[in-house]
Amino acid sequence: MFTESIPLRPFQNKRALLACFAHPDDESFGPGGGVFARYGSENVDTHLVCATKGEVGSHDAEHMQGFSSVAEMREAELRAAARVLNLGSLHFLGYRDSGMAGSADNVHPDALAAAPQAQVISQLAQLMRQLRPQVVITFDPIGGYRHPDHLAMHTATLAAFRAAGDPGFEPGGPAPFQPDKLYYTVFPKYLLRIGVALMPLFGQNPRAFGRNKDINLMSIASEQFPVHARVDIRRFGEQKAAAAACHKSQQGLPRRGPLGWLLRRSNRTESFMRAYPPALPGLRERDLFAGLS
């Protein structure tokens, strides 16, 4: 599978952050957008892997004007968001959006969820060797909301993180390079539980959330992952919101009701679980580069 790499601004070649996500909008809607904006302002090289071009994402006919395919339209939205977030580079792995769990799109021959894991791991490990990030971030162990593509990227990124520094893994290409730290994006579940409790008061069903009513927030709120790092992004809230607004076909983020309140509260910081090095009890970081020279 061919990896398409798109440089967006000159690299500083000092500190570098690599995010391994699945779809256009993952970089803006969840934890990540504020971190991109903050570290971009600090001359960190910020790189984004997007495994698919969101071919299965819902959209209205008006969003397709001027585009020949959903993938082309979603890529244009992502490029616009990347410019807002001052990303250094963008990398497409070339897979097809797998759709939500249980859909026919899961078994499409080009779907990320159906791809050989070894192939995805190889692509990610080679990118880590080329870009040489000290910090890598990806989805948590349930992929945020159990999307098959998010789960695939979590598994592949974890394996690639380990393989990138192994001289015995695919020798002959870029020199082995071991990133220092791996984080998972996590959402403070106490806030989500508050939002879930309030939704019925506003006539909303927390078991059928989203444009297609296929996300069960009750189930997601029952999962709990430790938060080891909280990065202050208050100065970059408007920048993150502007990036999210670039994804017009996805209708942006809710502004009203309990989830609108929840998102405004959560946009003060972005939260991460540290997967490597293993976190000692009580670890509280304010910077993903903390402890690195």
In the structure, what pLDDT confidence band is assigned to residue 194 with cuts at 50, 70 and 90?
Answer: confident
Sequence ranges of the domains in the chain: 4-188+226-276
What is the per-residue pLDDT for 268? 86
What is the per-residue pLDDT for 264? 62
CATH of domain 4-188+226-276: 3.40.50.10320
Number of residues written out for the chain: 293
> For a pLDDT cut of 70, what percent of the chain falls above it?
91
Query: pTM here?
Result: 0.91
- Minimal CA–CA distance to 112: which of 139, 79, 81, 85? 139
- Minimal CA–CA distance to 209: which of 264, 254, 240? 254
By three-state DSSP, how is residue 279 classified? coil
Report the distance separating Cα 37 and Cα 205, nearest Å. 33
- How large is the C-alpha radius of gyration of the chain? 18
Mean pLDDT rounded to a whole number for the chain: 89
What is the per-residue pLDDT for 253? 54
φ/ψ of residue 37, rounded to 5:
-65, -45
Half-sphere exposure of residue 91: CA atoms within 13 angstroms, side-chain side: 23
- Eight-class DSSP state of 8: -
